[in-house]
Amino acid sequence: MRLPLVTVAVVVLPLIAFAGGLPFSHYGLLDTPSADLLKHTEIAIGGGGTAYSIEDSTGASNMNITAAGYLEIGLFERGQIGGTYLGEAGFSGTARGLLLKETLSRPGISIGVENIIGEKDYEFYRNPGDSLYHYPNAQNFSVYALISKDFSYFVSFPMCLNIGFGTGRFTQSSEAADGWDNPLPGVFGSVLIHPSIVSEVIVEWDGRDLNAGGVYRLNNYVSVMTAASELEHLFVSNDSTSNGQDVMQNTKYTIGLQVNIGPFLNRTELDPYERLRYTDDDEALELLREYRARAREEIQEMESTVN
């Protein structure tokens, strides 16, 4: 019963030909990649519907809806491949790999590529028939590198930071009227806060735009997602250079859904003769033991002071 819901979210919603980059069109956070990978042979199917208003030639505001989606599969806990779909912009491939797995004492590092397709304007940042928006940077084959670190154990606050650098869709042209200028072209980043074990609040800069949203996991397999993207246009809408008829100068609102299936195979190591090791769990256990030992010492000091 869950898969038809994804089909509705990804396919049935109306499609707009000039849609730009949308939240939940790629596996990751909102519109930026994540260093987290799927388990070996685990499949993620997701997508969302995005609503936004745009002015016509008379100045009247019209509501539009577009859809995007993705399908990804994890490989050996070290890689992931899949595809993404963005309305009439078409299909493209994605791939990512884990260079360094995150532990309590070190960050995780991953690399990847998105929009593996020949069409230069895959995400319709430059519509050949539209003179309002000219985006000289190619939006296909966007390569990126990402560093991620969870600081929950260090600051006693459930927070994770991500920072990365990418080409293609992660870069912003100085010639484009696209909200705030990025002083470091290609740099993107995000802050994740976990209010509870099943929820996340995310604020990100995807290299071009400011986005905010959240994720709520209904169970181990289904997650509901929401986002508001291109929020900078809420602050520059009165600027003399803004144009309400430009699709890329309008804030957008997205509701999404992700379903995880599997994993179908239990083996997760590249070496089939190597036993599985839970190094992260061992390190967490050792840290808890250190905390407990320090607590005992503090209690003993307090007791000796009282006595």
**In the chain, where the domains are located:** 2-276, 280-307
| Mean pLDDT value across residues 18-38 | 81
Q: What is the pLDDT of residue 176?
A: 55
Burial class (CB in 10 A: 0-12, 13-18, 19+), 50: buried
Indicate if the pLDDT at residue 44 is higher than 90: yes
**Residue 98: predicted pLDDT:** 94
Range in 21-35, 87-101, 145-159, 293-307 the model is least confident about = 293-307
Asked if the model's pLDDT at residue 157 lies above 80, the reply is: yes
Which among 25, 30, 9, 7 is positioned nearest to 200, based on CA atoms?
Answer: 30
Q: Dihedral (C-alpha) 306, 289, 103, 46: value to the nearest 10 degrees?
A: -90
CATH code, residues 2-276? 2.40.160.40
**Separation between Cα atoms, residue 52 and residue 257, nearest integer Å:** 19
Per the model's pLDDT, the better-predicted residue between 131 and 97 turns out to be 97
Q: Mean pLDDT throughout 205-230?
A: 93
Region 115-128 average pLDDT:
64
In the predicted structure, residue 278 carries a pLDDT above the cut 50: no
Question: What percent of the chain has a predicted confidence (pLDDT) above 90?
Answer: 35
- The encoded tokens of residue 117 equal 């397709």
Mapping DSSP to helix (H, G, I), strand (E, B) and coil, where does residue 93 land?
strand
Higher pLDDT, 220 or 57: 220
Alpha helix positions (H), 165-243? 233-236
Residue 6 above 70 pLDDT?
A: no
Report the pLDDT averaged over residues 40-61: 83
- Of all residues in the chain, the percent with pLDDT exceeding 70 is 70
Burial class (CB in 10 A: 0-12, 13-18, 19+), 256: buried
